[in-house]
Amino acid sequence: AQPLPPPISDTSSILVNDADHPFIPDQPSDLRGPCPGLNTLAAHGYLPRQGVVTPGQIITAVQEGFNMGYHFASFLCYSAFITDGNHLTNLMSIGANTTTKGQPTTGIDTHGHFEGDASLTRDDAYLGNNFMFNQTLFNAFNESAAQVGNGMITFEAAALDRAIRINDSIARNPEFSFETPRFLGAIAETGFFFAMFVNNQTVDNEKPLSLNDAESFFGNHEFPQGFYRRQGPYEFPMVKNVTYTFVDMIGVKPGNNNGVNNYVVNPEDPMTFCYFYQKQVNLTASLYPNPTGALKQAIKANLQTYYETLGDPTCEQYFPYGQ
Ligand code: HEM
Ligand code: MG
């Protein structure tokens, strides 16, 4: 287990598509996955281009390239790493599972760990490929931008696109699963592209996203020409604020399909980040029912770091392997 890296010191808006970080199209041996943010950082060399990374590299890269806030970035990174990473080698793939120096390196496209249904531009695992860009799904952006955004992806258009994609999964995926953590993750991610894919986005997230720039990130993993990261970090309180604003706008509640077009809300799901953390810890405990030795020590240390990244002492801490 690694300690967290320090935060970056300058969080102003700077040119990030610069000479030191040229776009290189993905090579056959490069791993890419369901996250357009991480894919773009790897294709520009903010992350190792091959796509095999450590938590520290992710936390630093998302700040440098996108101005994702240090605390939220650490939380998000560990939300994925504890279930999708290799606790002994400290490595995680930003796409599929692979092998590094003879050791398994597990990846963030593992369905049901952090990756989940109703993605904006990737299919549900039940319906197809859960990590490759899908142009047909992306076209819901064109639809929503035309309907409510004057051709741009405004906040309203982003909410509409989010709703369209949820309704599509309800209509087509008999196994559609949309409880927390996926529920909060899917909705938070709608805020991510709005807050961080817009050139020189303001602290109040005022500017809309163009369809061209959206496709550049989601489809090509490429920063638009002359791209400046957002002004000021996108930090935990803002993430919560934006996420719950979308939740209210969309009006959907956490739940599951019981066959197509039969969405059953789970009224017990509290839709909180404490619960998000709790569910990821439970999943980790089920993936590693009986670790021993160095593995047990590493998982315990990573779970401790994960709790600390929540930054909310009112959330109960869980110790599946004892204190
Ligand atoms: C989706 C991981 C940072 C933007 C995802 C998904 C994963 C993931 C596993 C797939 C979820 C799904 O759709 O099923 C991470 C991790 C990060 C990170 C571990 C580390 C901090 C970022 C950043 C951005 C971003 C910095 C934007 C600048 C997005 C967006 C989606 C997404 C927009 C939704 C894609 C879609 O629905 O098609 N992320 N991500 N992520 N991520 Fe990231
Ligand atoms: Mg998905």
Looking at all shown ligands, the one closest to residue 134's CA atom is 1
On the question of pLDDT at 1 being above 90, the answer is: no
State the closest ligand 1 atom to the C-alpha of 218, by its place in the atom list counted from 1.
38
The residue ranges of DSSP E strands in 242-286, in sequence order, are 255-257, 263-265
Looking at all shown ligands, the one closest to residue 239's CA atom is 1
Q: Residue 34 Cα, ligand 2 centroid: separation in angstroms? A: 6
Q: Which of 8, 35, 58, 78 to mutate to test the pocket of ligand 1 (most atoms within 8 A of CB)?
A: 35
Show the domains of the chain with their CATH numbers.
36-310 (1.10.489.10)
Q: Residue 35 Cα, ligand 1 centroid: separation in angstroms? A: 4
- Check residue 91 and report its DSSP letter: B
List, for residues 248-284, the tens digit of each pLDDT value: 999 999 999 999 999 999 999 999 999 999 999 999 9
Q: Is the whole-model pTM more than 0.95?
A: yes
Ligand 1 site residues (CB inside 6 A) read 34-38, 58, 62, 66, 68, 73, 76-77, 80, 108, 114-116, 119-122, 189, 192-193, 196
Q: Which of 192, 193, 246 to mutate to test the pocket of ligand 1 (most atoms within 8 A of CB)?
A: 192
% of the chain exceeding 70 in pLDDT:
100
Token reading at 46: 């903010």
List, for residues 111-149, the tens digit of each pLDDT value: 999 999 999 999 999 999 999 999 999 999 999 999 999
User: For position 39, what pLDDT does the model report?
Assistant: 98
How many Å is the Cα radius of gyration of the chain? 19
What is the C-alpha separation between 144 and 160, in angstroms, rounded? 6
List, for residues 19-46, the tens digit of each pLDDT value: 999 999 999 999 999 999 999 999 999 9
- pLDDT bucket at 51, cuts 50 / 70 / 90: very high
Neighbours of 271 (CB within 10 A): 17
- Parallel, antiparallel or unpaired: strands 103-105 and 177-178: unpaired
List, for residues 202-256, the tens digit of each pLDDT value: 999 999 999 999 999 999 999 999 999 999 999 999 999 999 999 999 999 999 9
Q: Residue 281 Cα, ligand 1 centroid: separation in angstroms? A: 20
Tell me the average pLDDT of the chain: 98
Length of the chain: 323
What is the C-alpha separation between 98 and 16, in angstroms, rounded? 29
User: For position 192, what pLDDT does the model report?
Assistant: 98
Q: Are 103 and 93 in contact (CB under 8 A)?
A: no
The interface pTM score, or ipTM, of the predicted complex is: 0.99
Closest Cα to atom 42, ligand 1: which residue? Answer: 35
User: For position 153, what pLDDT does the model report?
Assistant: 98
On the question of pLDDT at 303 being above 90, the answer is: yes
Helices (H) and strands (E) counted in the chain, each on its own, are 10, 7
Closest Cα to atom 4, ligand 1: which residue? Answer: 37
List, for residues 88-118, the tens digit of each pLDDT value: 999 999 999 999 999 999 999 999 999 999 9
Return the H-helix or E-strand segment holding 100: strand 98-100
Looking at residues 70-94, what average pLDDT do you find?
98
Closest Cα to atom 11, ligand 1: which residue? Answer: 115
Q: Are 298 and 284 in contact (CB under 8 A)?
A: no
Q: Which residues surround ligand 2, an ion (CB under 5 A)?
A: 115, 119, 122, 130
